[in-house]
Chains A and B, each alone.
Chain A
Amino acid sequence: KLVGVVGLEIHAQINSTSKLFSGSQVQFLAPPNSLVSFFDASLPGTLPVLNRRCVEAAVMTALALNCTINKKSLFDRKHYFYADLPVGSFVFSLFFFVVYSLFFGLFPLLFKNLLSPRQRCSTPFALHTEYGLTVHCRVQCRTHILVCVAGVGLVEIVMEPDMCCGEEAAAAVRELQLILKALGTSRANMAEGQLRVDANVSVHQPGEPYGVRTEVKNINSTRFLARAIDYEIQRQTEVLEEGGEVINETRAFDYKLGCTVPMRDKEGKQDYRFMPEPNLPPLILYDSKTLPANVSPEQVVSVDHIQEELPELPAVKRARLVDQYGILPEHSFTLMNEDGLMEFFQDVVKGTRAEPRKVIGWVINGLLGLLKLHNLPVSQSPISPSSLSELLNLLERGIISSSAAKQVLQELWKGEGKTALQVVEEKKLGLIHDREELEQICQSIIDGSQNEVAEIRKGNHKVLNRLIGLVQRATKGRADPVLVKEILKEKLVCNPRWKKKSINQSINQ
């Protein structure tokens, strides 16, 4: 049986106010060619000056991914002849961080709802500059070149081919996105192109060498990443099973068709004619031991200093959530994967007496379900944390049943500005606690369900639940389930203890 082998090459745009080697601003959707310095336009005589912020962001990212960091890095030039690369060559650091990281070894990934422990993921790490964009305009027969983004710092992260399917790769990328966002080193938005993922996919018989791989590009979400990879594994498997051969090629994912198609080849193999960049001295990173005494901290980058400033990483945060709230690890993933959901959950917990493990169900199955259904982010939820807290308090105090609570949630979703209590009162969703009223209802159900009553009398007590359900239907879920059960048992089950209790109550009354 053939299995898939997936590796990833990821480019993350560094979230920085200026470009890697020039003072130009970086901004999404800036007007064409508005953010171009003399260096970016490759005016002769301009020289690259390394942006400190980009180095720090790269170091911080590498530290978060548990990489070993080279203390000395050299910059290399790679040559292309693309119009959107004004210099005709671009500087990048070939040896910035050469690392074998156990980044995913530190924590499990939520993948196919299983917590799969990751063993190894080496991530060679490089600092690059962004290309420009070339826009071909068919009408005018002119090529417009946007060099706005040319020169933006990129972090390249390579994940070794030790993943087996699209969902696993998507989980790895989501984890990386979370880390980058937590660090603030990249906005990591795939749709805006701040994170670009190319997948290398091959199939082989387990135990045998890897098969011929294809590179899949043009993927702009983790969902499409998973689909593209799975499609590609399927396609390659079919090709091989039909006796064909997989060609080493670059393919693009067509999200409309849900399949990968061959991309036009870039005029065969390129020789990038690497050479050391002469205009940038080697980049030296320091730690607290090697930090020179006579240099001000603003002039150098200290790895230890950045390590101290590392924020709490998603894995740590998840562990803390599990520990603090007693929720399941899967739930901690869900909370972290949705922007703002964790904060929402924490706010609800603060405002309610309900147990966090009960709250999590309402947040994930209730609220998140509705958000997904309507394709809304947490920030646009019509239900605020406080109104969900209020609802859960009503539930907790036994004022409403959980099925009624679900109806209240639906009402609150309409966003009419009512409080949960108002909804309960208006819709008469409050639990019926009045014993006499409930006894009457129960009696009428008993009278109308002779078959079930006979079953129960024979000793099949499970049927009692069916009667409880009928009572709830009759009361639209408003009957206090504990009380209903008690009444039904009293009426149907010969239990002296129960009878005694009932007599005592009658006497008391």
Chain B
Amino acid sequence: LCPFVLQLQVSVALREGQIRPTELCHRCLSQIEETKFLNAYITVTEEAAFKQAEESEERFKRGKPLGPLDGVPVAVKDNFSTAGIETTCASKMLQGYIPPFTATVVQKLLDQGAVLMGKTNLDEFAMGSGSIDSIFGPVRNPWGYSKQYRGESSRREDPGWLIAGGSSGGSAAAVASLTCFASLGSDTGGSTRNPAALCGIVGLKPTYGLLSRHGLIPLVNSMDVPGILTRSVDDAATVLGVLAGHDPKDSTTVQDHIESFELPDEIAVQNLCVGIPKEYHAPGLSSETLAAWTRAADLFENAGAKVVQVSLPHTQYSIVCYHVLCCTEVASNMARFDGLEFGHRSKMESSTEAMYAATRHEGFNDVVRGRILSGNYFLLKQNYERYFLKAQKVRHLIANDFLKAFSSGVDFLLAPTTLSDAAPYLEFTKEDNRTRSAQEDIFTQSANMAGLPAVTIPLTLSTRGLPISLQFIGRGFQEQKLLSVAKWLEKVVKFPLIELEATAGNLQDAPKHKTFTSAL
């Protein structure tokens, strides 16, 4: 196992020659192999990773590394296009699809010398909150195989393995199981923060428009943002610095020049005002999460910050509006998958129309097809006003709720990320995807509706030894401030490092990885 946990540490180690990029790459690849029962990766780009590591090593030898990410192993969710590397969205529709271009954010990582370990697992087309609806099988939460959890659970009946959260469950599990130092996820309604929270790592959803979406296979264009998953807030800031900024290929990115930043080590919180949104005391919130939330508020208050209750009155309508808007955009965006230009094409060839229908039926799972159907229903002329337009209006109100809270003097909001810690798969699957998405996205999707930045950090372990996380929601483009307070809390709570214990039992039903020879 790699002796370094944080990207910040490993960067220094690489620079000082304590470890070589190829050695680091090798250790991470071994760790992927060790933990492959987690099913975090869809594709492991072993060969390409070694090549990149060798190139990085050359740069270090010449004393000219590219930047803080040079030689650092990373992973990317399999809904980011990667030239020469299969990009599946965990769907039959895109199985075997090899994009001819690379997503801007991935390219930026590669341009900085980061070493791409592979493409990570997700819910099909990022539609889900458990990373269980993937044609490659579900992702398992590494904490289910930790000493912390297993030690506790030995005293009770084994409920089976735990979900990683989703839809970026693979990216979260990859970082949490120490197979890489950072990963990219996507966050449309909480898909980065939710699995980060359940896997006990940092998950950053940047402001809409700060990071390019070019190459990210869309779920909801107006809410999607590339998300950053790391093991520390500082690491998230470093990756953000590399990725942020205008992209001519994405007209919705910021025009202004964005400076990268480092977070200070000494952070003063006494002049800050922390908002506690009262509507987030939702039914179903676990007592342990509530306790962690209260404790965090107390920590801020004790440190001299002002903690006030704020109201976001339209929160209760957010999830249903999110559902309408999500489905309409899905219906529109998914129209392109017709089996003609790329991806799966049905053998049914009796007519062009029959081919379309069969292709889409065979290629999409029930969740995707369900959202396409409802989306088209919402967009019908007779329904447009009742659903889509109304949801758009409520979206404005939700964004206004946040603006009002911030203009009342609140610097950021502190809220739970999820209702509780990670659920066992058997329990989670008692409800369908639609119900689970509505439950799991409850605290996260309103930041997407408003386009605001949010970051989740793990706070503590629950009594059964699983991470409990909280999120900060900040003003648009105030990532530096947001990450600073997150870093302050991170330092105060000292969340423990995962102690993985891979057992033979874990490995029995391990799914097989595909290794992919790429032209990278």
Contact = CB atoms under 8 A, between A and B. Distances in A.
B342 A49 contact: no
Contacts of B384: 273-274
B325 to A, nearest CB: 9
A153 to B, nearest CB: 16
B252 A87 contact: no
B463 to A, nearest CB: 43
A50 B99 CA distance: 23
Contact of A47 (B213, B336, B388): B213
A461 interface: no
A88 B376 CA distance: 13
B352 A143 contact: yes
A83 interface: yes
A46 B335 contact: no
Contacts of A81: 335, 338, 356
A45 B251 contact: no
A271 interface: yes
A492 interface: no
A392 to B, nearest CB: 58
A278 B221 contact: yes
Interface stretch (A36-44, A314-322, A337-345): A36-44
Interface string A32-74: 0000001001111111111000000000000000000000000
A47 B249 contact: yes
B341 interface: yes
Given A79-B335, A83-B338, A45 B81 contact: yes
A145 B328 CA distance: 27
A503 interface: no
The A interface is mostly helix, strand or loop, or mixed, namely loop
A79 B332 CA distance: 7
Nearest to A48: B251
Given A278-B221, A281-B251, A47 B335 contact: no
A46 B214 contact: yes
A273 B378 CA distance: 9
Interface in B326-344: 328-329, 331-332, 335-338, 340-342
B332 A89 contact: yes
A86 B336 CA distance: 6
Contacts of A77: 332
B94 interface: yes
Contacts of A49: 248-251
A446 to B, nearest CB: 87
B336 A42 contact: yes
B335 A279 contact: no
Nearest to B81: A45
A279 B94 contact: no
B99 A45 contact: yes
A77 B375 CA distance: 14
A280 interface: yes
Interface string B62-88: 000000000000000000110000000
Interface residues of A, number: 29
Nearest to B328: A275
B340 A44 contact: no
A46 B214 CA distance: 6
Contacts of A143: 352
A39 B372 CA distance: 22
B103 interface: yes
Contacts of B388: 275
Interface residues of B, number: 41
B336 to A, nearest CB: 4
Contacts of B94: 44
B216 to A, nearest CB: 6
Contacts of B337: 44
Contacts of A47: 213-214, 249-252
A86 B380 contact: no
Contact of A273 (B80, B101, B336, B380): B380
B215 interface: yes
B100 A38 contact: yes
A132 to B, nearest CB: 10
Interface string B239-259: 000000000111110000000
B103 A45 contact: yes
A343 to B, nearest CB: 42
A187 B395 CA distance: 44
Contacts of B342: 41, 43-44
Interface string B366-404: 000000000010011100100010000000000000000
Given A81-B335, A87-B335, A87-B336, A45 B216 contact: yes
A452 B101 CA distance: 94
A274 B376 CA distance: 10
A77 B250 CA distance: 17
B251 A273 contact: no
Interface string B403-431: 00000000000000000000000000000
A278 B213 contact: no
B352 A279 contact: no
B207 to A, nearest CB: 15
B218 interface: yes
B217 interface: yes
B95 to A, nearest CB: 13
Given A43-B99, A45-B99, A46-B214, A145 B340 contact: yes
A275 B378 CA distance: 10
A22 to B, nearest CB: 10
Contacts of B238: none
Given A83-B340, A273-B376, A275-B379, A45 B100 contact: no
A360 to B, nearest CB: 53
Interface string A205-246: 000000000000000000000000000000000000000000
Greatest chain B CB density within 10 A among A77, A81, A88 is at A88
B222 interface: yes
Contact of B252 (A83, A86, A273, A281): A281
Greatest chain B CB density within 10 A among A43, A79, A145 is at A43
Greatest chain A CB density within 10 A among B99, B220, B340, B342 is at B340
A47 B336 CA distance: 13
A413 B229 CA distance: 81
A88 B218 contact: no
Greatest chain B CB density within 10 A among A46, A79, A89 is at A46
B251 A50 contact: yes
Contacts of B213: 45, 47
A493 B281 CA distance: 123
A250 B249 CA distance: 40
A413 B220 CA distance: 68
A280 B251 contact: yes
A77 B330 CA distance: 13
A42 B213 CA distance: 15
A79 B375 CA distance: 12
Contacts of A273: 331-332, 376, 379-381, 384
Contacts of B221: 278-279
A280 B103 CA distance: 18
A86 B356 CA distance: 12
Given A83-B340, A89-B332, A44 B380 contact: no
Interface of A: 38, 41-50, 77, 79, 81, 83, 86-89, 143, 145, 271, 273-275, 278-281
24 contacts: A43-B100, A43-B342, A44-B89, A44-B218, A45-B80, A45-B216, A45-B217, A47-B249, A49-B248, A49-B251, A50-B251, A79-B332, A79-B335, A81-B356, A83-B352, A86-B340, A87-B335, A87-B336, A89-B335, A89-B336, A273-B380, A274-B384, A275-B329, A281-B251
**9 interchain residue pairs of minimum CB distance:** A88-B335, A273-B379, A278-B222, A278-B221, A44-B217, A42-B336, A45-B215, A45-B81, A45-B217
Given A47-B213, A89-B335, 17 more contacts: A43-B342, A44-B218, A44-B342, A45-B218, A46-B101, A46-B214, A49-B250, A79-B335, A81-B335, A81-B356, A86-B336, A88-B336, A89-B332, A273-B331, A278-B220, A280-B251, A281-B252
